[in-house]
Structure 1
Amino acid sequence: MRILTVLGLCAVVLFGGPSPVAAAPDGYSWPLRPRPALARAFDPPEHDWLPGHRGVDLVGARGQAVLSAGEGMVAFAGVVAGKPVVSVDHPGGLRTTYEPVLAAVGVGARVGRGTPLGTLEPGHPGCGTCLHWGLRRGREYLDPLGLVRAATVRLKPLRADVAGP
């Protein structure tokens, strides 16, 4: 939260969620095209060991190309708990994950933003054919939507006697 003075009035600027990736960084785009609908939002657990949703689910179609959200290097392309997964390491210590994706790239491959990583497979729990897209910095899970959209900014008056628009 930041305090901002605009035209002599103080206002609080609220950002749309706690994320170290608050404003959309340059060089990232949606992993599915056209821009997909959101099936399930990011819902991190209060503690690492508790249940939660450590990514977002994006509505897709069987066989649809899954694209790298940004430039980087493929860190993993294989199966985890019976599901095909691709992970890409990006500059700044970020790692994106894509699941369930039948890989068309191998570990160590350099990819750019929009490079096809593989194809979307059906069978994601709760939504059929959805891409589970995750983002981490180190061990901290982040909302991957922060890569593709800027934070929501709202100006609110600090005094109750100041009317808004």
Structure 2
Amino acid sequence: MQNLRALAACAFIIVIVVLGAGSASGAAPAGPPPGAAPTRADDWRWPLSEPHVMIRAFVAPESRYASGHRGIDLAALANDEVFAPHDGVVSFAGHVVDRPVLSIMQPGDVITTVEPVDALVTMGDRVRAGQVIGTVASGGHCPPGCLHLGVRLHGWYVSPLLFLGNLPRAVLLPAVP
């Protein structure tokens, strides 16, 4: 009975992940305006062939400069084909520190980045969703056998799952007394 009373005394809060902005502390950082996503999930494609195994999920930083994981890591093999996740224009194809990186811009101020990728396209090339844009390379923060996919909306990192149509549902958690 005491457990039931204690449970009844606890308020429940709803943890809502809006544009992937949830954080480990539950605080939501300031980010892009709600509903600012300019594209639909059915316009996007996964950057790798199936199965789509996520090794590490998106973790929003509490502020623009705080720690977090600004994308998702997908299981991949070296030399696997990498596909354009959406229509757009290649805005960068080159090395950043120790890894080959490829970024694609689309209208609505969305920039998608995949790494490590040996690019088959160059800056300024137009690409279509599902088009082969490169192959999985080595380097970067992922362990070997990994592809990192990041998405920025109006300069803010958001979960790629918002666009791929696979965002986990919100969860009810008990409040800490």
TM range (shorter): 0.7 to 0.9
Deviations 1:47-80 (A, max 9, x none): 1111111111000010001110010000000001
For residue 66 of structure 1, the aligned residue among 74, 82, 92 is 82
Match of 1:129 among 132, 145, 153: 145
Matching residue's letter, 1:89? M
| Structure holding more helix per residue | 2
Q: Secondary structure at the match of 1:48?
A: coil
Runs of 4+ in 1 over 4 A off after TM superposition: 150-154
Asked if 1:120 is matched to 2:142, the reply is no
8 Å CA contact 1:124–1:130 kept in 2: the answer is no
In the alignment, which of 82, 87, 90 is matched to residue 98 of structure 2? Answer: 82
Q: Which residue of 1 aligns with 2:120?
A: 104
Does structure 1 retain, via aligned residues, the 8 Å contact 2:82–2:136? yes
CA RMSD of aligned residues (A): 2.4
Percent of counterpart pairs with the same letter?
Answer: 35
Return 5+ residue gaps in structure 1 as ranges.
Answer: 1-13, 157-165
Paired residues for 1:15-94 under 5 Å: 17-19=17-19, 20=35, 21=37, 24-94=40-110
- Conserved? CA contact 1:87–1:97, under 8 Å: yes
Distance 1:149 1:16 in 2: 16
Answer yes or no: is the 8 Å Cα contact 1:68–1:111 preserved in 2. Answer: yes
TM-score (norm 1): 0.77
Question: How far, CA to CA, are the matches of 1:74 and 1:92 in structure 2?
Answer: 15
Gaps of 5+ in 2: 1-13, 20-34, 173-177
Structure 1 pair 151–50 and aligned structure 2 pair: CA distance change class (3 A):
closer
Does structure 1 retain, via aligned residues, the 8 Å contact 2:100–2:139? no
Could you state the TM-score of these two structures normalised by the residue count of structure 2? 0.72
- Could you tell me how far apart the structure 1 residues matched to 2:18 and 2:151 are? 14
The size of the alignment, in residue pairs, is 142
**1:142 and 2:158 matched:** yes
- CA–CA distance in structure 1, aligned partners of residues 117 and 48 of structure 2: 12
